[in-house]
Amino acid sequence: MSEIIVVKDLIKYYNQGKDNQVFALKGINLTLNKGESVALVGVSGSGKSTLLHIIGAMDNATSGGYIFSGQDVTKLGVDGLAGLRADKIGFVFQQYGLLSDSTVEANIKLALCFLRDKKQAKEAESRIDETLAKLGISELKGRKVRELSGGQKQRVAIARAMIKNPELIIADEPTGALDRNTANEITDVLISLVKEYGTTLIVATHDLEITKKFDRTIKLENGCIV
Ligand SMILES: Nc1ncnc2c1ncn2[C@@H]1O[C@H](COP(=O)(O)OP(=O)(O)OP(=O)(O)O)[C@@H](O)[C@H]1O
Ligand SMILES: [Mg+2]
């Protein structure tokens, strides 16, 4: 299997050198293979979100190496990082991150505005109906997000993340706000979609029941992989 992510000796300090300095990641070494689905677990404060932010090109590490799809992410400037996020990474969050007063369709289309390749954006737009169908939410296309249940909102967020056919999906506690059954359903639909498209998936979670569904589980403890 080929590698999509290679993280080497990654260190992250917040507020380095100040009184409120936090040593959040203490030398992370991690390789993710293409198409692999990985659960990231660990107690609150162990560094899961910090690691996902760096892998998702939303934050910089203090030091260490990070290669995404053969590209050295540590060498990218602000625009390069934004482009990487827009083109190649889909995000799913606990609180969905959708625009409540817009329709499901408008929320999904918004993700395509940021794509640098306009041809890719057009192609993706033609897949909206198919993607909604795969997530079982075709009938919600014209509905306002604020009228939807939590599980339905998370399906929309997954559709928004998947529509551009990204190389990587990052999800930070995607089932944290959902009940047991809905959490299982959402995890099942997410994993079946990434398997179908060959997308790599990394999910931070406290839910040990859903971790069984992933190819591999990585545990963080106090900023280290154990
Ligand atoms: N923006 C920030 N500024 C300063 N410290 C931060 C910041 N974000 C996180 N931290 C600190 O870094 C450490 C790791 O936090 P992180 O959010 O990565 O943990 P987590 O494993 O995601 O926790 P949770 O399960 O509660 O979401 C914690 O000590 C936290 O207080
Ligand atoms: Mg977190």
Q: What is the pLDDT of residues 172-208, one digit of tens each?
A: 999 999 999 999 999 999 999 999 999 999 999 999 9
Chain segment 3-58, per-residue pLDDT in tens: 999 999 999 999 999 999 999 999 999 999 999 999 999 999 999 999 999 999 99
Residues whose beta carbons lie less than 5 angstroms from ion ligand 2: 48-49
Residues contacting residue 74 through CB under 8 Å, at least 6 positions apart: 60, 61, 64, 65, 66
Answer whether 6 contacts ligand 1 (Cβ < 6 A): no
* CATH class of the domain defined by 3-225: alpha beta
- Atom number, ligand 1, closest to the C-alpha of residue 220: 21
Q: What is the pTM assigned to this prediction?
A: 0.95
CA gap 99, 136 in Å, rounded: 20
CA of 49 to the centre of ligand 2 (A): 4
- Domains of the chain by residue range: 3-225
CA gap 79, 27 in Å, rounded: 26
Question: Any idea how long the chain is?
Answer: 226
Q: Which residue's CA lies nearest to atom 16 of ligand 1?
A: 47
The 10 Å CB-count burial string (b at 16+, else e) for 187-212 is: bebbbebbeeeebbbbbbbebeebbe
Answer whether 48 contacts ligand 1 (Cβ < 6 A): yes
